[in-house]
Amino acid sequence: MMNGIINLKKEAGMTSHDAVFKLRKILREKKIGHGGTLDPDVVGVLPIAVGKATRVIEYMTDSGKVYEGEITLGFSTTTEDASGERVDYLAVNDALKAEQIDQAMAGFIGEIIQVPPMYSAVKVNGRKLYEYARAGESVQRPSRQVQIIDFQRTSDLIFEQGLCRFHFRVACSKGTYVRTLAVDLGAKLGYPSHMSYLERTASAGLTLDRALTLSEIEDKLVKDDLSFLLPIEHGVMGLPRVDLTFDQKEEVGYGRFITLDCQEQLVAAFYQDQLVAILEQREQFYKPRKVLNNENS
């Protein structure tokens, strides 16, 4: 059985579920999951967990993400991205200054409240929002708090045909809808807008410059080259690390509580540079939440 993390470059036109389905066929492994959904139109880093690594997938999902893309001011769409139908249109005055946009973008940095787009997988009363949208039904969408770590313009403004386009970069917490960020920015500037392009350049410590496409992974597998399979330890890079003694490792393997000189709520426990367990704090002790690599488990 294969065990490890794959830095997959998801291509446009497929869902994250499609990518997992194709990888199951390529690797001939059933136990595969992804760490963080990407919309079909979005390309970029999709962390994949194989075998035992699926047990740490939730910690990959919890980590922050970095995106680069393009925002277009001048019209909005039903899906808040380029794949939707045009809704509102308002010609952008070419007197709009880059400084105004930069100031507005800076106002989003920190903790903000977002309302997920109707075309999203957020569930309300057991149904996904996009199911309501496709049926032409409206429903109250739950708001959520997310964190924007960095949000900045990375290109000059391009004015043409009543529109204004520019590239951007955003670093944000899990659960952030970048489409909605683009729409909310436009509203702050007084224009309908949408996210016209997006790629995820980093997630769970994995970066786009080192990501591999499905076909590249398949080519390596044909040559018995498993270099695309990263150690399971990559899945917990976002957690604080503690190193256990031999006796502590043994205790953890039996599911027992141990004491640590640490104040973190959740930690990745290592022994001789191998991930042993995920431990959670219980008063003055640490209890194994998941034991991953121990002969007693």
Active-site annotation, residues: 39
Radius of gyration in angstroms for the set of CA atoms belonging to the chain, rounded to a whole number: 22
3-state helix, strand, coil in the chain (%, to 5): 25, 35, 40
Burial 46-65 (b: 16+ CB within 10 A, else e): bbbbbbbbbbbbebbbbbbb
On whether the CB atoms of residues 232 and 52 are closer than 8 A, the answer is yes
User: Which of 108, 291, 258 lies closest to 183, judged by CA?
Assistant: 108
Residue 191: phi, psi to the nearest 5? -130, 145
C-alpha 124/C-alpha 133 separation (Å) is: 12
Helix (H, G, I), strand (E, B) or coil at 45: strand
Q: Classify the C-alpha dihedral 113-238-55-283 as positive or negative.
A: negative
Task: List beta partners, residue 275.
Answer: 270
